[in-house]
Amino acid sequence: MKKGEVLFLKGAAAFRSRVLLSFLSSRPIQIEDIRSNIGSDGIGLREYEIHFLRAVSQLTDGTSIEINESGTSVKIVPGIIIGGSLNFDCGVERPIGYFLEMLVPLCLFAKSRTSLTLTGITQSSPEAPSVDSIKMVNFGILRAWGVKESTLDIKIQKRGYSPNGGGQILFTSPLLPRAFEPQQLIDIGLVKKVRGIASCAKLSPSIVARVIDSSKMTLCKLLPDALIYSDARKGSEAGSSPGYSLTIVGESTSNSLIVAEGVANPGEIPEDLANRVTATFLSRTATIGWGDSSRQWFILLLATLSSEDASSIRLGPLTPFSVEFLKQLYLFFGISFRLKEDQDNGSVLATCIGIGFRNIAHRST
């Protein structure tokens, strides 16, 4: 497919990643039949998807976005990723992580350094990770690819819980004028340390203390190097709704990262939240792939963008989204991964030759 030729897609699936890859590849896209068959009250783009398009548009220059009246069709002609300083309200239908996890790779290849203030819900949801886990896990994966700039950072200025949000974060991103170096991430290793954060807003700090005590009671029996930090917010730093949550991240001897997190359900006591998240985390310590399964797409993207040599990563069984993302990488970049499944444990060795993606916008200044 020629670079300027419009890529026609259908359906609402994987909407954010399609938009992300459109801008990274500079390929115009037209998505048709977006929820066109689910009734008059639910057809077309959701408000949070329109919010996402606005956020991406504000980070770029020369972008054209056309949405039809029913919202069932959108055409995007991507412009140049310019970055810069931006304030954006993410709303409360989806947490900040829904936006941020896709904006991070965009900002790394912007024309200028990015300082992005996002407001909304800072914690996780079934659809998106928390801001904490993006900082701990996504940034950790970037470090494995050689991104060590101190300017890559997230500061949580206000904690915001559902339903009313009110959280605020500051994301700062460096520029990457050169392509990522290819990586060989085949050894999984054993979990060597655990770090976590228990946070709350508009609640007593004793809630957080109970979460930490309950979680560490289990973790320290199996993993002696386990630290969970507390972050209890009040007043102007506590957002608009009360709530509390726990994020646990484990790092292996090969720098692989696994994560489990959760937000307290209505009426759930701190000990139950701690036990629920800790049990999920421990079940994932037996992972057979490098990196958390929820970040497979991010790892595959970095391998694709790496310089023109082979990257090999041993992943766990591919998630449905990862399978779809591999198809998207082929559509937008023409890149194919060689996938070799281990019949004994189900892990997948994914190998590709990177495209040598460079920051053209920055180079042209």
Asked if residue 180 belongs to a domain, the reply is no
Q: How confident is the model at residue 271 (pLDDT cuts 50, 70, 90)?
A: very high
22 and 71 both lie in a single domain: yes
- Structure confidence by residue, pLDDT tens digits, 283-311: 998 878 999 999 999 999 999 999 999 99
Q: Examine the pLDDT at 363 and tell me if it is beyond 60.
A: no
Closest CA to 199 of 174, 169, 220: 169
314 and 238 both lie in a single domain: no
- Give bridge partners of residue 359 from the DSSP assignment: none
CATH of the domain at 243: 3.30.360.20
265 and 301 both lie in a single domain: no
230 and 304 both lie in a single domain: no
**Domain final residue, candidates 247, 266, 284:** 284
276 and 202 both lie in a single domain: yes
- Structure confidence by residue, pLDDT tens digits, 172-183: 998 887 789 999
- Structure confidence by residue, pLDDT tens digits, 311-323: 999 999 999 999 9
53 and 9 both lie in a single domain: yes
Sign of CA dihedral 141, 144, 145, 147: positive
Asked if residue 252 belongs to a domain, the reply is yes
The pair of three-digit structure tokens given for residue 289, joined into one six-digit string: 């792939």
Asked if residue 146 belongs to a domain, the reply is no
Closest CA to 275 of 219, 223, 224: 219
pLDDT at residue 39, rounded to an integer: 63
What does the pLDDT average to over 165-192? 91
Instruction: Say how many C-beta atoms besides its own lie within 10 A of residue 253's C-beta.
Output: 12
Q: What pairing do the DSSP bridges indicate for beta strands 348-353 and 338-341? A: antiparallel
The pair of three-digit structure tokens given for residue 193, joined into one six-digit string: 């340390």
254 and 200 both lie in a single domain: yes
234 and 259 both lie in a single domain: yes
Give the Cα separation of 163 and 213 in Å (integer).
27
Find how far residue 182's CA is from the centre of its chain. Answer: 21
Give the Cα separation of 351 and 110 in Å (integer).
27
- Structure confidence by residue, pLDDT tens digits, 107-140: 999 999 999 999 999 999 989 999 999 999 999 9
Asked if residue 89 belongs to a domain, the reply is no
- Structure confidence by residue, pLDDT tens digits, 42-60: 789 999 999 999 999 999 9
**Average pLDDT score over the chain:** 94
Q: Name the domain count of the chain.
A: 3
Asked if residue 129 belongs to a domain, the reply is no
Asked if residue 213 belongs to a domain, the reply is yes
Of all residues in the chain, what percent carry a pLDDT higher than 70?
96
279 and 296 both lie in a single domain: no
Which of 135-139, 328-332, 355-359 has the weakest average pLDDT?
355-359
274 and 295 both lie in a single domain: no
Q: Counting runs of H as helices and runs of E as strands, what totals does the chain give?
A: 10, 18
pLDDT at residue 41, rounded to an integer: 63
276 and 302 both lie in a single domain: no
What's the CA dihedral at 43, 47, 49, 53 to 10 degrees?
120
CATH of the domain at 64: 3.30.110
CB 208 within 8 A of CB 173: no
Q: Examine the pLDDT at 101 and tell me if it is beyond 70.
A: yes
- Structure confidence by residue, pLDDT tens digits, 59-84: 999 999 999 999 999 999 999 999 99
Domain that includes residue 20, residue range: 1-80
**Separation in Å, CA 246 to CA 85, 170, 177, 215, 253:** 30, 21, 36, 9, 23
Q: How confident is the model at residue 169 (pLDDT cuts 50, 70, 90)?
A: very high
Q: Examine the pLDDT at 275 and tell me if it is beyond 80.
A: yes
3-state secondary structure of 83: strand
Asked if residue 19 belongs to a domain, the reply is yes
- Structure confidence by residue, pLDDT tens digits, 222-269: 888 999 999 999 999 999 999 999 999 999 999 999 999 999 999 999
**Domain final residue, candidates 64, 80, 96:** 80
74 and 57 both lie in a single domain: yes
What does the pLDDT average to over 333-345? 93
3-state secondary structure of 234: coil
Find how far residue 120's CA is from the centre of its chain. Answer: 16
Q: Examine the pLDDT at 365 and tell me if it is beyond 50.
A: no
At residue 215, what are phi and psi to the nearest 5 degrees? -70, -45
- Give bridge partners of residue 66 from the DSSP assignment: 75
- Give bridge partners of residue 191 from the DSSP assignment: 252
**Domain final residue, candidates 284, 311, 328:** 284
Q: Examine the pLDDT at 364 and tell me if it is beyond 50.
A: no
pLDDT at residue 215, rounded to an integer: 98
CATH of the domain at 350: 3.30.1370
Helix H or strand E segment including 349? strand 348-353
Asked if residue 271 belongs to a domain, the reply is yes
